[in-house]
Amino acid sequence: MAKKKNKKQKRTGILRVKYYSFGRVRKARMIAADKHAGQFRKERISNKRLPFICHTSGTAEYLMAMRMPEDLVIAGHLHDVLEDTDMTEKEIEELFGPHVLFLVKAVTEPKGKPWPERKKFKINALANGTLEVKLLGTSDHCDNLLSILEALYNEGLSTPAEFAKAKVWHNFTKGYESQKWYHQESCKAVFANVPYDMLHPMFGKLMRLVEIIFGEQVIIDPHARIKVRRRQRDWINPYNPETVNKN
């Protein structure tokens, strides 16, 4: 006898984690851990260096929590391997297929370019990317910003004015003003070219993090701001036909 769906599953129509192939997801996590071994995040928490794998795992966990497609979760684990390791495009495609490769490449900076050019490339990729690319980029930025915010609080700071003078910015290639520009423009790019009904609540999380850290409203459109206040369960998941058909 088939088990009844619980009320939450009926209401949302969103795919559960149990539908993921954990063999593929686990393989991606293990590859990321191996390739990023010995790498650390730029910010410190309680004066301790954090293994870089904390970031790639965090990015993938956001996507899994949002019940995003399996390839997107895998791309979350692997989103920095082309940029920061010796893993090749061919290896990604052979192991996980062309779609995962497309997603990873979409959020990968071009090597050998000056910092502003690399960041402009990523901003443009977010602005013109598919919804999946935007969700991957959003999860990446949210994990980065949460880690920065934790470092700021760890310094005993609590306001945007204090954040601007924090020590943590000295750990980055570019300082506070450049980081502010990059994260604000990335947030705007995530919202760009997305119909109101498809604005994901995760976009709102990114918006709030950027505004908390840098102290300026970054998304001006009031309708867009209202839309991203929705709960996850009220968002139409385009990757689940049941949800789309019901709406």
Position 11 scores a pLDDT of 34
Contact assessment for residue 46 and residue 92, using Cβ atoms and an 8 Å cutoff: no
Is the pLDDT confidence value at 176 over 80? yes
Distance CA 35, CA 203 (A): 29
pLDDT-derived band at 231 (thresholds 50, 70, 90) equals low
By three-state DSSP, how is residue 37 classified?
coil
Position 170 scores a pLDDT of 92
Supply the DSSP symbol for 71: H
- The pTM of this model reads 0.85
Mean pLDDT rounded to a whole number for the chain: 86
The pLDDT tens digits of the residues spanning 88-106 come to 999 999 999 999 999 999 9
Q: Where are the domains of the chain?
A: 20-234
CATH topology for the 20-234 domain: Hypothetical protein af1432 (1.10.3210)
**What contacts 109, CB < 8 A, 6 or more positions away?**
83, 118, 119, 121, 122
Percentage, residues of the chain above pLDDT 70 = 84
Supply the DSSP symbol for 87: -
Q: Which long-range contacts (CB under 8 A, 24 or more apart) does 202-209 make?
A: 202/62, 202/66, 202/135, 202/138, 202/139, 202/142, 203/134, 203/138, 203/228, 204/228, 204/229, 204/230, 205/138, 205/142, 206/138, 206/141, 206/142, 206/145, 209/141, 209/142, 209/145, 209/146, 209/149
Position 234 scores a pLDDT of 46
Position 187 scores a pLDDT of 98
Position 142 scores a pLDDT of 95
Which of 20-29, 43-52, 66-75, 115-124 is the least confident region?
43-52
Quote the distance between the C-alpha of residue 162 and its chain's center. Answer: 26
| CA contacts within 13 A on the Cβ side of 133 | 25
The pLDDT tens digits of the residues spanning 130-173 come to 999 999 999 999 999 999 999 999 999 999 999 999 999 999 99
Mean pLDDT confidence for 176-203? 95
Is the pLDDT confidence value at 19 over 70? no
- Alpha-helical (H) ranges within 155-240 are 160-163, 176-191, 201-214, 222-227
Position 8 scores a pLDDT of 41
Cα angle 191, 130, 59 (rounded to 5 degrees) comes to 75
pLDDT-derived band at 235 (thresholds 50, 70, 90) equals very low
Position 5 scores a pLDDT of 47
Position 20 scores a pLDDT of 64
